[in-house]
Amino acid sequence: MRFLLGPRAVPVPPNGTGAAIGHDGEMITDLRARLATARLYLCTDGRRSSGDLAPFLDAVLSNGVDVVQLREKGLEAGAELALLEVFAAACARHGALLAVNDRADVALAAGADVLHLGQDDLPVPTARQILGPGPVIGRSSHSPEQASAAAIEDGVDYFCAGPVWETPTKEGRPGTGTGLLSHVALLNARRPWFAIGGISLDRLGHVLEAGATRVVVVRAITQAADPGAAAAEFARRLSEA
């Protein structure tokens, strides 16, 4: 596996993950503005089997990934925080947003920009009590009813719709098909939303045709022969949509 580095790195404030320095309200506004421009969201494990986490993150973040989430079930908090230090450093180098899955306490300890919550995770108000005024909070949705609720739920800054296709990342959960994306597109939601689940470069056209303009990707980048090149192609096609 080789890594293609691109020219995407941008200067960011020296406060960890690139959030604006200032009053809490200013920080939140900055994070939401950056989230609104994000198109490509990557979930990856800590790549401990290959031992290439830092160069992998540099490759994908320099080639168009806007948000990166550590997603590795079963990690103890200490191990997760150790990995998140590597993620946070890479996000600071490239001006990307750092996301944490499920755990508000870990997101707070890691200084993450984004906390993503599933349907069965902490209630959003409880997560906000733990986090304080930042980071931004995302919500999963798996049906038209859940997506419609997530589009207007108080305290939610963005949401995901899927899995569009069945994926081992969500074992046992059937794919929704692109019909869910069409439903969400018709909502004209005032907050960003991302299609998720089994999305590859070959399937991206179907996702875009259904009305999505943002995607969450896992294996199509993490298992690519050249993760940087795969990220760059996703970013290019999303920017042209």
For the CA atoms of 63, 31, 222, 59, what is the dihedral angle to 10 degrees? 30
pLDDT number for residue 188: 97
Sign of CA dihedral 173, 177, 178, 183: negative
pLDDT number for residue 15: 37
pLDDT number for residue 9: 37
pLDDT number for residue 14: 33
Residue 131 burial (CB count, 10 A):
17
Amino acid present at 179: G
* pLDDT interval class at 26 (50, 70, 90): low
* pLDDT interval class at 106 (50, 70, 90): very high
* 216 and 71 Cβ atoms separated by less than 8 Å: no
| Across 184-205, average pLDDT | 98
Of the listed ranges 134-138, 177-181, 226-230, the one predicted with least confidence: 134-138
Domains of the chain: 24-240 (3.20.20.70)
| Phi, psi for 63 (deg, rounded to 5) | -125, 25
Q: Which residues of 226-235 are buried (b: 16+ CB within 10 A; e: fewer)?
A: bbbbbbbbbb
Q: pTM of the predicted model, to two decimals?
A: 0.89
pLDDT in tens, 157-176: 999 999 999 998 777 789 99
HEC profile of the chain: CCCCCCCCCCCCCCCCCCCCCCCHHHHHHHHHHHHHHCCEEEEECCCCCCCCHHHHHHHHHCCCCCEEEECCCCCCHHHHHHHHHHHHHHHHHHCCEEEEECCHHHHHHHCCCEEEECCCCCCHHHHHHHHCCCCEEEEEECCHHHHHHHCCCCCCCEEEECCCCCCHHHCCCCCCCCHHHHHHHHHCCCCCEEEECCCCHHHHHHHHHCCCCCEEECHHHHCCCCHHHHHHHHHHHHHHC
Give CA–CA dist 232/236, Å, rounded.
Answer: 6
Question: Is it the case that residue 237 has pLDDT exceeding 90?
Answer: yes
pLDDT number for residue 162: 98
pLDDT number for residue 190: 96
pLDDT in tens, 31-82: 999 999 999 999 999 999 999 999 999 999 999 999 999 999 889 999 999 9
| Across 73-95, average pLDDT | 96
* pLDDT interval class at 104 (50, 70, 90): very high
pLDDT number for residue 171: 74
Q: What percent of the chain has pLDDT over 70?
A: 88
Question: Is it the case that residue 212 has pLDDT exceeding 90?
Answer: yes
